[in-house]
Structure 1
Amino acid sequence: MLPYFRSVAIVGKYMDDSALQNMRDDLTHLVQYLQSQELHVCVEEQTARFIRHEGFELASLENIGHKADLVVVMGGDGTMLSVARALRDSNVCLIGINRGRLGFLTDLQTDNMLGELEKILQGEYQLESRMLLQSAVSRAQSQLWQSVAMNDVVIKSAFRLIELEVHVDGKFVSRQRADGLILATPTGTTAYGLSAGGPIMHPDLHAISIVPISPHTLSYRPITVPADSVIEVIIVNAADAQISFDGQGQHALSEGDHIRIARGEQEIQLLHPKTYCYFDMLRNKLNWG
């Protein structure tokens, strides 16, 4: 049975005041419309500072997923990624209004967002689960940190080649010199992995793409493994290597560091309009003929 929405939360591009200022009118119209539908409306506290209206509940990003049945994210793919990671434990449905550039994850446009939301609130939508990656970095057998990613985990050097060793499920795959390595979910294969020559994977697939960045040996090509694989990357030789998660937060790596990447326990619930088609989206965003 499809979820029924009684409470809707709104999150804008909460880390960017200038972006929130530019979307002030759209955010205000969105709140007014949802309240006119007799829905409980909750707004992320940073976003709320730019709304010219009253009568809604305030909540932190960490808590907002537990107060709503649906979270509407206004921004670009970066905003959607950060909100999805923050709300992953709540299992709340997310839908995006595109105020960014390409917008692979944000389906609605501001010029028709209220009409599309009306259909969605009446049950005319598609629900889709997207997998996450769980990563842990260890040094000298002590875990330094762990994080999740919806798009990709990227290991790279800014200025020189690094040497990496890759293992899948305890089996040695390769030792390579390259600018870095991308480990991408199907969602992330239209991001950095695509620019590096990796495959596009349909989001219904359960798989992880391993994509080298400018490998020194040109025969080293991307490889896709099952989603339940455990991937281990060992930093063999690197002077300035870093790891990032969805491109949002970097950490320095050292020689001998071990990075473990596996499928995350949670999944992200994305909501699309009833007319959404993944191939139409690719064709429009990537300018295919």
Structure 2
Amino acid sequence: MQSTFRSVAIVGKYMDAIALQQMQSDLTHLARHLLSQGLQVFVEDQTAQFISHEGFQLASLNDIGSKVDLVIVMGGDGTMLSVGRALRHTGVPLIGINRGRLGFLTDLRTDQMLVEIDKILQGEYQLESRMLLQSVVTRAGKPIEQTFALNDVVIKSAFRLIELEVHVDGQFVSRQRSDGLILTTPTGTTAYALSAGGPIMHPDLDAISIVPISPHTLSYRPITVPAGSVIEVIVVHAADAQISYDGQGLYPLAVGDHVRIERAQQEIQLVHPQDYCYFDMLRNKLNWG
């Protein structure tokens, strides 16, 4: 059977040279195997420094999406989040090999990766779309920061309570004092929002969950709204407020700043093995009986 994918890219944990060195053998094994299948293989620049093989082509992370029709990411969920955001405009699908901790987004184990990847290359896979959030920070009426997130957008204070006002589609929801607020996609409900007491949402749901972090008034509870909603958060009082996206980017906020959060136009395409089951994944990762 002819392969579904003809050009493939490999991206390791490109921001961490120590991690790349630790996975050097697996990266080399993967590159050699893909080349032996007659595929056109690209490797991200930083990752390529730790592959002891020839025959592949180099590409920057920004260029990879326009050169291949599948990206294989070796790392943990953080690497998948970073690569997903970087390639959000391209629509190229991602498959993850878990070299992290929990691995909610990385399905394959290294000891099974070649067998599972061969199945995927022959068309035995599931393709799933995951929504993104985009947020815009406005100060004195001018946009000053725009970010995207696959998991969540978090507004918080590092050491003190922060006071925030929340509106959904122009309607006032609440004014609350807390350690912060998490705006999460269904994908992100198994991340920071889970530890803050938020609900787990199936990734097929079109929804955004608003989860307070340690609210001063315990009656403040998480609320889930349709994915088409426009959420506006106003910083009312804070000494050291900041906004982050997927836990990987940080920007300082000031009193009076408005943060607009809504669904992004782009989506991330994830490739799963044919027998992938979301509930099996939850049961295994969260140690449910």
Give the TM interval when normalised to the shorter protein.
Answer: over 0.9
- Alpha-carbon distance in 1 for matches of 2:161, 2:17: 37
The residue that corresponds to 2:93 in the other structure is: 93
Provide the identity percentage: 78
The residue that corresponds to 2:5 in the other structure is: 5
- Displacement of 1:249 in angstroms is 1.2
* Matched AA of 2:213: I
The residue that corresponds to 2:245 in the other structure is: 245
Between the two proteins, the alignment pairs up a number of residues equal to 287
- Alpha-carbon distance in 2 for matches of 1:159, 1:218: 19
The residue that corresponds to 2:264 in the other structure is: 264
- Alpha-carbon distance in 1 for matches of 2:110, 2:279: 22
- Displacement of 1:203 in angstroms is 0.2
Alignment deviations for residues 57-78 of structure 1 (CA, whole Å, 9 cap, x no partner): 1000000011110000000000
- Alpha-carbon distance in 2 for matches of 1:53, 1:160: 51
> Counterpart of 1:62 in 2: which secondary structure?
helix
- Alpha-carbon distance in 2 for matches of 1:65, 1:104: 23
* Matched AA of 1:76: G
TM-score normalised by L of structure 1: 0.99
- Displacement of 1:137 in angstroms is 0.2
- 2:220 matches 1:216: no
- Alpha-carbon distance in 1 for matches of 2:87, 2:78: 14
- Alpha-carbon distance in 2 for matches of 1:250, 1:8: 32
* Matched AA of 1:83: V
- Displacement of 1:158 in angstroms is 1.0
- Alpha-carbon distance in 2 for matches of 1:194, 1:153: 14
Alignment deviations for residues 236-280 of structure 1 (CA, whole Å, 9 cap, x no partner): 000001100000011111100000000001000000000100000
* Matched AA of 1:228: G
> Counterpart of 2:80 in 1: which secondary structure?
helix
Alignment deviations for residues 56-109 of structure 1 (CA, whole Å, 9 cap, x no partner): 110000000111100000000000000000000110010000000000000000
Alignment deviations for residues 36-57 of structure 1 (CA, whole Å, 9 cap, x no partner): 1100000000000000001111
The residue that corresponds to 1:40 in the other structure is: 40
> Counterpart of 2:262 in 1: which secondary structure?
strand
> Counterpart of 1:83 in 2: which secondary structure?
helix
* Matched AA of 2:215: P
- Alpha-carbon distance in 2 for matches of 1:233, 1:145: 14
What residue ranges of structure 1 are gaps of 5+ in the alignment? none
- Alpha-carbon distance in 2 for matches of 1:169, 1:88: 25
- Alpha-carbon distance in 2 for matches of 1:28, 1:216: 51
Alignment deviations for residues 184-218 of structure 1 (CA, whole Å, 9 cap, x no partner): 00000000000000000000000000000000010
The residue that corresponds to 1:118 in the other structure is: 118
> Counterpart of 1:276 in 2: which secondary structure?
coil
The residue that corresponds to 1:69 in the other structure is: 69
- Alpha-carbon distance in 1 for matches of 2:273, 2:66: 23
- Displacement of 1:4 in angstroms is 2.3
The residue that corresponds to 1:284 in the other structure is: 284
The residue that corresponds to 2:154 in the other structure is: 154
> Counterpart of 1:235 in 2: which secondary structure?
strand
Alignment deviations for residues 162-196 of structure 1 (CA, whole Å, 9 cap, x no partner): 10000000000000000000000000000000000
The residue that corresponds to 1:195 in the other structure is: 195
> Counterpart of 2:259 in 1: which secondary structure?
strand
Runs of 4+ displaced beyond 2 Å: none
- Alpha-carbon distance in 1 for matches of 2:263, 2:217: 28
* Matched AA of 2:219: S
The residue that corresponds to 1:137 in the other structure is: 137
Aligned Cα root-mean-square deviation (Å):
0.7
